[in-house]
Amino acid sequence: MNSSRKVAYIAVFTSLAVVGRLSMTIVPNIAPVAPLSLLAGYLGGAYTGFLVGFLSMLISDMYIGIGPWTFFTTLFMGLVGIFGAFIVRMARDKMVVFTLSYLAVLIYDLGTSIFPMVFFGVPPLIAVLNLFFPVSFLGLPYPMGPVHEFSSSIIFLTLIRLIDRFGLRGVLHG
């Protein structure tokens, strides 16, 4: 893929992820950043995936609020984008793609829960429990982590299926 195409990928996917994250701030842990970072890595390679993940979190945090956590969220979302590049090489089966993307987002959630909390003096076990222990959202129990992993993996798999259904892989991949 030529450099101008990579720049265009990075710009388009990053802007979609930023707008998506900002528009979905009312619904906890459902945002298109992880699926779009995975897709950018899947279509454009590890470098493209990393930059989309990293820049999406950095730019959207400029609007939501930058803090010590931004270092961790940008780094780990960049890693999610890199993981997207490996998914294309490792799997063609839908269930395997779903599982690998789920694991990528789980690593993001664990990393961004444990490292910032340790920074603030919270024990790692408490940080992990807070990720998986249901909280109240609109009066209903809402497990933050599993919702994020599941929704991101479903969105990623859906985007891949749409690309394949409409024969866009060759057009998008170069």
Q: Where are the domains of the chain?
A: 3-173
pLDDT, tens digit (0-9, with 9 covering 90-100), for 139-162: 555 556 788 899 999 999 999 889
Q: Which CATH architecture has domain 3-173?
A: Orthogonal Bundle (1.10)
Task: Provide the angle, in degrees to the nearest 10, between the axes of the packed helices 33-44 and 94-119.
Answer: 120
Mean pLDDT, residues 84-95: 83
> Worst-scoring range by mean pLDDT, 86-90, 126-130, 151-155?
126-130
pLDDT, tens digit (0-9, with 9 covering 90-100), for 10-64: 999 999 999 999 998 777 667 899 999 999 999 888 999 999 999 999 999 999 9
Residue 94 three-state SS: helix
Q: CA–CA separation, 3 vs 76, rounded Å? A: 24
Task: Note the pTM of the prediction, 2 decimals.
Answer: 0.89
